[in-house]
Amino acid sequence: MIDDIKNWFDQYPLLKEIIELLGVLIMAVLSYIIVKRLLLKSVEKIVKRTRTRYDDILLNSNLIKRISFIAPLILLNQFSYLIPDFDTFLSNLSGALTALIIVLIIGSVLTSVNEIYESLAKHKQRPIKGYIQIIKLILYALGAIIIVGILTGQSIYELVAGIGALTAILILVFRDTILSFIASIQITSYDLVKVGDWIEVPSFGIDGDVMDIALHTIKVRNFDKTITTIPTHKLVEVSFKNWRGMQETGGRRIKRAIHIDLASVKFLSGELFERLSQISILKEYLSKKKSEIDEYNKTIAADPSHPVNGRRLTNIGTFRAYVKEYLKNRNDISKDLTFLVRQKEPGANGIPIEIYVFTTTTNWVEYEEIQSDIFDHLFAAVQQFDLKVFQVPSGYDVKSISAINNID
């Protein structure tokens, strides 16, 4: 009976090969279903029951789908001899597809490794995404050479030698990739930028937090909520500011000046001295300073009939002392970092009394509140010292002067 069926099929070779091809394809499909639905599903259930989430990341849906294709491709390759007319074609096709699936599986594993690495808090700010992408690029290039070699039947060494002749063209094509790879190494080696850093790149209009560092691009979320991408190699080429040092220090600098009108500077008179002596934080300073000055003037026998003889307290010097004491009494100003209240060189805009201190917070909103509160107070307090803040005359000022002149 079996021999009769075989002899009958021998009379129709094309029908025989079609049936054999269908049989091989059916076996391939069955092997795919068995591996994916039974074996890998069982492994997936076991993985989900474990406490660690790393195996869940590693055994993702893409990896399972790709592993499922290996068994049918191996069967297709092994049983291709049953179909002589398609033997070489099926063998080469299955071999090439197997190589492609293996490359994709390795790529999926590398992606999972990067995801696991980034999930670790201590490594979060030192991304390896750029290096993973370089490894993938090399992997895909080698995979492409192997696949072409399998499909054409040529030696891999011959293909590599042929590609070597095109090195100059490849360098030109992958110029940005090569530059970005070198830049990624520099960024990581010198710890220039991390994910979460606040950076400013004026030439690209960037001012915000780093969201992602990849091989080709660095993604930054600006403070206006827009997102800017910059080529990785460009960040090394241009000048940029990283505010991480400020954030790690725990304090943010206030550097701002109050410009005092030169015409309002004077010595402390008896009445002004008495009035300022009522300010609590100035009592000790004025008492100590007055004793020191009186002692000095006695030593040099200074004539008290004129205020320029000897030493005298001034309203601007006392105001500077007041600013120091006022800032020292604020808990939101750091006493451990640079603390300086200085008088700078007078200019066309008056005498700058510059405040150079650091807040105890790096939060932007809190910092601006502290800075505004300080200067709100000082602008109001400066009048108590008979000092005037300098400002360029406005149109209203000019109009008022003109009106007075007209009355006169």
DSSP 152-211: HT--HHHHHHHHHTTHHHHHHHTHHHHHHHHHHHHHHHTT---TT-EEEEGGGTEEEEEE
Confidence of residue 306 (pLDDT cuts 50, 70, 90): confident
pTM, entire model: 0.58
Q: What is the pLDDT of residue 136?
A: 82
Average pLDDT rounded to a whole number, residues 56-84: 69
Q: Which residues contact 363 (CB under 8 A, 6 or more apart)?
A: none
Into which CATH architecture does domain 253-266+314-395 fall?
Answer: 2-Layer Sandwich (3.30)
Identify the residue whose tokens are 């007209």.
Answer: 406
Please count the CA atoms within 13 angstroms of the CA of 285 that sit on its side-chain side: 20
341: pLDDT confidence band, cut at 50, 70 and 90? Answer: very high
Domain ranges of the chain: 2-151, 188-248, 253-266+314-395
Higher-scoring residue by pLDDT: 90, 102: 102
- Does residue 218 have a pLDDT over 80? yes
Percent of the chain surpassing pLDDT 70: 73
CATH 3.90.1150.10 for domain 188-248 = no
Task: Please provide residue 354's backbone torsions phi and psi, each rounded to the nearest 5 degrees.
Answer: -95, 135
Average pLDDT over residues 111-121: 76
Q: 12-16, 130-134, 242-246: which has the minimum mean pLDDT?
A: 12-16
Return the exposure string of 162-174: e unless at least 16 CB atoms fall within 10 Å of the residue's CB, then b: eeeeeeeeeeeee
Task: Specify the pLDDT at position 370.
Answer: 96
Q: Using 50, 70 and 90 to split pLDDT, how confident is the model at 26?
A: confident
Strands of the sheet with 253-260, listed across from one edge: 253-260, 351-358, 340-343
Given a cut of 80, whether residue 119 has pLDDT beyond it is: no
Section 57-77 average pLDDT = 71
| Average pLDDT rounded to a whole number, residues 167-185 | 72
Residue 64, SS3 per DSSP? helix
More confident residue, 301 or 32: 301
The yes-or-no answer to whether 188-248 and 253-266+314-395 have a common fold is no
- CA dist 71 → 28, 38, 45, 101, 284 (Å): 7, 13, 21, 11, 89
How does pLDDT run across 261-299, given as a tens digit for each residue?
999 999 988 889 999 999 999 999 999 998 998 888 888
